[in-house]
Chain A
Amino acid sequence: MPKDATTIDDEPIIRVRGLVNRFGEQVVHDGVDLDVRAGEILGVVGGSGTGKSVLMRSILGLRTPDAGEIEVLGVDARSQAPDDRLHIERNTGVLFQDGALFSSLTVGENVQVPLKEHHAELLDSMRYELALLKVKLAGLPADALDKLPSQLSGGMRKRAGLARALALDPPLLFLDEPTAGLDPIGAAAFDHLTRTLQQALGLTVFLITHDLDTLYAICDRVAVLADRKVIAVAPVAELERLDHPWVQAYFNGPRGRAARVSGGHEAPGRIGLAGDPSIQGS
């Protein structure tokens, strides 16, 4: 039964079942189950080394898991069949940690790379206009188009990476620590941008983050990776009451309390530290 990715129904857009990932002796995932629903922003959190990026790479097919099933947009992510790969490539956009822009190409050329690869029939001027449109959607000025990645600041590189991820209008967007390395103002602005674009373009967003502000500001649900499994998937307000040592330390540490206050999710009976409201997005 063919499914239109833009329709919101109960069928998850990503379905992970019993995922196992091992690196030699070290077991990173042991039976990870996760559903990502169409049209949501799912935050993925977990301590360092809990395999957040490995999970993303498994879903994208960049890494073959040792066991388990992954279904993305209705196809098996482990499939090597060209049609399935093409389907996943055309319908997903990925923003890697530092943008992963091709350093030898200008921003405009970077955004045009997926357009050239997947839509070679487009006229040069159409490709250019689409690139310009995506760069503007990502919040960059038009003159950024002719700049090389090395001439951009970290925050601008991430926006350029986002523009490239959006080049094919994919319904599914992966963001790997989008606010890492940004100053609080830039991070809040990027969160705001993510939310705006998600709503405007009807995206489903798989968002790996350490940033508590991001979780409180824009995530519909949050999946917690700990003990080699996804131990909980819930809205952040429910999650912070979960009785698990890592979750408690994460959400109820000083940074968690500050983010909660500014994110407007003050838990009853707790006094949070006041965050500066001027630096908080959305």
Chain B
Amino acid sequence: MPMGVASTAPSIDLDAPTPGQDGPRLRLRGGWTLQYALAVRDLLLEAPPQPSGVDVRQVERLDSAGVLQLHHYARHNGLDFESFEFRPDHHAMVAAIEDVADERPKKKRELGFAAALGRLGFAVVDNAKETVALVSFLGENIVKAERMLREPRRFRLTATVFHMEQVGLDAVPLIALLAYLVGAVIAFLGASILADFGATIYVVELVSIAFLREFGVLLTAIVLAGRTASAFTAQIGAMVSREEVDAIRTLGLDPIDLLVLPRLVALLVTLPLLTFIAMVAGLLGGMSVGAFSLDIPPQAYLARMQATMELRHFLVGMSKAPIFALIIGLIGCLEGLQVEGTAQSVGERTTSSVVQAISLVIVLDAIAAIWFMHMGW
């Protein structure tokens, strides 16, 4: 049987008053512990307010929660706590426990229009600060990158290759699969409408243009924003919280050189390559749907593609890859460097970096689409 099992419920016996005084004597019994805290509270609320004595010597168990409630009882009724009689083996504990009270001011929750406006204002200011921080971080990186070009020994080849593997090579299966599936979905989607016009063959143009111009690079960037920006933030953030980044600084090294530039270079190299893989996989997805359910044999599909595609679509798509790489890398690293020591901060920054990276990628892609359309490219 376990030790320390529950004692009996607390109770109060009323004894005859101490001679010469009014009010009964309270004799406490049972367990006056945390386990029975509510029962103890109710007992003491109902207990006579002016006893002539309180005898705690016959309780089975007593702990700090019980003593605290006895303090409250004494304070409420203006009794002298010192006159309570305790068992000798409880004396040390009783002496150690002081009377404390919940004296918190009532919490005021700010509601209403003014408070909402205030929160909106703070959010705007915070966002403005984040934007400034991101732009100045970009500037810092450009300066450091230029210095690295003049002093090539600063370049960390091993770290860069390591990140290329993690960011690029390891992401190939995931990106190829996702792009293939999205390619297939677009083909189905297009076919279901184009078939009504007997123009099913236009599925080829639809899939090709969509993937070369938009979806290849966008899918890759979104996957990497989720997969890589978060990893960068968590890696660097953990290093910040363990003071590794401070150690880097005190050793006369530059965290930008050491941590940020290798990651940025790795992304700048691998994101375009991954984009190319995503384009090919997406086209294959379209071709598979054509072959298996739209009666467009692969030869016909390829011939149609060759006849209708222009190089400019590919170039438009590819031109966005380095920009997205820069955004993902900068946000991931910057958020990591802004971590403030706690586990919660690492979590918040990681979330923030993924959200920022994905949103910024989509916003820039939209702006780019408008720009390219107006330029007629």
Contact = CB atoms under 8 A, between A and B. Distances in A.
Interface of A: 1-6, 11, 13, 73-75, 84, 87, 91, 103-104, 115, 119, 121-123, 125-126, 128-130, 132-134, 136-137, 142, 148-150, 168-169, 171, 196-197, 199-202
30 contacts: A1-B1, A3-B1, A3-B2, A4-B4, A5-B4, A11-B3, A13-B3, A73-B3, A74-B2, A87-B2, A91-B4, A103-B344, A104-B343, A119-B35, A128-B102, A129-B68, A130-B64, A130-B68, A133-B68, A133-B97, A133-B98, A134-B64, A137-B96, A171-B4, A200-B92, A200-B96, A201-B64, A201-B93, A201-B96, A202-B89
Given A74-B3, A133-B68, 4 more contacts: A75-B2, A121-B38, A129-B101, A201-B96
A153 B330 CA distance: 33
B4 A73 contact: yes
Interface in B28-61: 33-35, 37-38, 41, 60-61
A70 to B, nearest CB: 14
Contacts, number: 106
B2 A73 contact: yes
A171 B342 CA distance: 32
Interface string B88-111: 010011011110111010000000
Contacts of A197: 96
Given A2-B2, A171-B4, A150 B89 contact: no
Contact of A169 (B3, B63, B100): B63
B61 A150 contact: no
Given A126-B37, A130-B64, A103 B4 contact: no
Interface in B64-121: 64-65, 68, 89, 92-93, 95-98, 100-102, 104
Contacts of B104: 128
A63 B61 CA distance: 32
B5 interface: yes
Contacts of B60: 4
Contacts of A199: 92
Given A5-B4, A103-B343, A129 B64 contact: no
A130 B101 CA distance: 9
A9 to B, nearest CB: 10
A6 B313 CA distance: 80
A125 B106 CA distance: 11
Contacts of A201: 63-64, 93, 96
A199 B89 CA distance: 10
Nearest to B67: A133
A133 B63 CA distance: 12
Contacts of B93: 200-202
Given A200-B95, A200-B96, A3 B3 contact: yes
Nearest to A137: B96
Contacts of A2: 1-3, 5
B5 A169 contact: no
Contacts of B96: 137, 196-197, 200-201
A122 to B, nearest CB: 6
B34 A133 contact: no
**Max count, chain A CB within 10 A of own CB: residue among B2, B5, B343:** B2
Contacts of B341: 150
Nearest to B5: A2
Given A3-B1, A150-B341, A169-B34, A126 B98 contact: no
B7 interface: yes
A119 B37 contact: yes
Contacts of B33: 169
A126 B41 contact: yes
B96 to A, nearest CB: 4
A211 to B, nearest CB: 24
B4 A136 contact: no
Interface in B338-375: 340-344
Contacts of B61: 4, 6
B89 to A, nearest CB: 7
A3 B342 CA distance: 42
A169 B32 CA distance: 12
A148 B65 CA distance: 25
A77 to B, nearest CB: 12
Nearest to B94: A200
A125 B1 contact: no
A133 B64 contact: yes
A104 B1 contact: no
A74 B1 contact: yes
A248 B236 CA distance: 45
Contacts of B92: 199-200, 202
B345 to A, nearest CB: 8
Contacts of A137: 64, 96-97
- Among B7, B100, B343, max chain A CB count under 10 A is at B100
A118 B185 CA distance: 52
Contacts of B102: 125, 128-129, 132
A161 to B, nearest CB: 15
B41 A4 contact: no
B234 to A, nearest CB: 16
B176 to A, nearest CB: 37
A103 B342 CA distance: 6
A122 B341 CA distance: 33
Interface in B312-343: 340-343
Given A103-B343, A122-B38, A200-B93, A133 B3 contact: no
Nearest to B91: A200
Interface in B3-35: 3-5, 7, 33-35
